[in-house]
Structures are given as structure tokens and as C-alpha cells.
Amino acid sequence: MSHRILVFYGSYRQDRTGIRLANFLVTAFSKRGHEVELIDAKAVGLPMLDRMYKEYPVGEAPEALQALAAKITAADAFVFVVGEYNWGIQPGLKNLTDHFLEEWFWRPAAMASYSAGRLSGVRAGLAWHGTLSEMGMVVTSSTLAVGPIISTLDEDAAPTGKAGEALERNFDRFAADLEWWSDAAKFQKERRSPPF
């Protein structure tokens, strides 16, 4: 079954290496027959959170916020590409996610973490797990952890060396887990409306 998947990426840095992982995931999920779109927080350019999307009167939210809300609501599943900043989460991606709440409900989310070092951003992944769960998503147990990122993916997001081979091997399980939960969510919504 084909799914509409949004891949979220949140670094605002000038020399962004995590974009390689985001682009790899867009390509890899597309090859599996899914409709995939990269949502780059820097490109969307939302201001620091003042009002959530739901706090605007209908039709009065800024255009970028309105467009993104529609994409999130229409998606079947989400992938969050999370970098680690001082053991924590990227402020750009957190700011983007916090603009919404109900739009995230009842869909699965998967995490792919990365860093320049050997710990591969896993501490950021741990922090995001609780955040995404609190926002109403089901977080899959299969994750990807990529590090060092520049030894795993080249500038064109192509896997390189042994680390790249490992990423390609691990991607299949990661994708299958997200697909299973996305199928399950679609099936359940057809049987019964969400409880709230």
C-alpha cells in the first residue's frame, strides 16, 4: 500500500550535513512506491512560536502555516531527521513541530538521528521520542542512527563505505516498521473514528 510520507528536517546551520540523510530518506521511501515530501524547517521559515495554528481564526493563519497544516493533516506517516545539539534537540525543528498539535494525531512517526560523531545523534532521538508521543504520534521502535554523517553519505546523499552499506541494510526494517504502522492506522480509521 502506498503512503503519503513527510520527512522533516530542522537544521538552520550554514553547512548542513544532516540534509544528506533527509535526502537519502526521501529517495529511499520513494523507491518503495510512496509519495514523499521533504519539509525543511529552514525553507518553511516559520517565526518563533507565538501562536499555534489552531489559535488563529479560520482563514487568518499565515500562508506558510496554513499550507504546512494541510500537508501534515493529509499525511499518513512522518519521518523526523533529528540532529543532536549539545545532547538535545534542534531548536528549528522543535519550533516547527510546536506550531501544530491536533494535526499530528493518530499517525506513526519514525526517527532517523545523525551527528558528526560516533554517537549518531541517539541522545536527540531519545528526547524526540517523548516529545512526538506527547504530540499524539505513535513512534516506531525501529530507528536509524547515522554517524559520522560525512562518512556515511556523500554530498549527493549516496551511501559510502561500510557505514553507508549498514545504512542501506538497516533502512529496510526501518521502512517496513513505519509502513506497518501506517497501514494499521489507515485500517483502524476506516473501522472506527479516533476517540477525540
pLDDT at residue 19 in the model? 97
This prediction has a pTM of 0.96
Distance between CA atoms of 103 and 68, rounded to whole angstroms? 10
Write out pLDDT tens, residues 105-137. 999 999 999 998 888 999 999 999 999 999 999
Q: Quick check: 195 pLDDT over 90? A: no
- Crossing angle of helices 91-98/122-134, nearest 10°? 10
pLDDT at residue 117 in the model? 86
Q: What is the dihedral of CA 42, 47, 49, 52, to 10 degrees?
A: -90
Q: What are the C-alpha distances in Å from 125 to residues 2, 20, 22, 70, 178?
A: 26, 17, 15, 26, 16
Distance between CA atoms of 86 and 83, rounded to whole angstroms? 10
- Band the pLDDT of 161: cuts 50, 70, 90: very high
Question: Which residue ranges make up each domain of the chain?
Answer: 4-191
Q: What percent of the chain has pLDDT over 90?
A: 92
pLDDT at residue 127 in the model? 94
When pLDDT is averaged across residues 146-167 and rounded to a whole number, the result is 96
Q: Quick check: 86 pLDDT over 90? A: no
pLDDT at residue 24 in the model? 98
Q: Quick check: 85 pLDDT over 90? A: no
Instruction: Please report where in the chains the cell 540534509 appears, as a residue.
Output: 19
Distance between CA atoms of 174 and 144, rounded to whole angstroms? 7
Superfamily of the domain at 4-191: Flavodoxin domain (3.40.50.360)
Write out pLDDT tens, residues 19-78. 999 999 999 999 999 999 999 999 999 999 999 999 999 999 999 999 999 999 999 999
Question: Do residues 167 and 157 touch, judged by C-beta distance below 8 A?
Answer: no
- Residues 6 or more apart whose Cβ sits within 8 Å of residue 85: 91, 124
- Band the pLDDT of 183: cuts 50, 70, 90: very high
In what helix (H) or strand (E) does residue 144 lie, and over which residues does it extend? Answer: strand 144-146
Question: Do residues 82 and 115 touch, judged by C-beta distance below 8 A?
Answer: no
- Band the pLDDT of 87: cuts 50, 70, 90: confident
DSSP 194: -
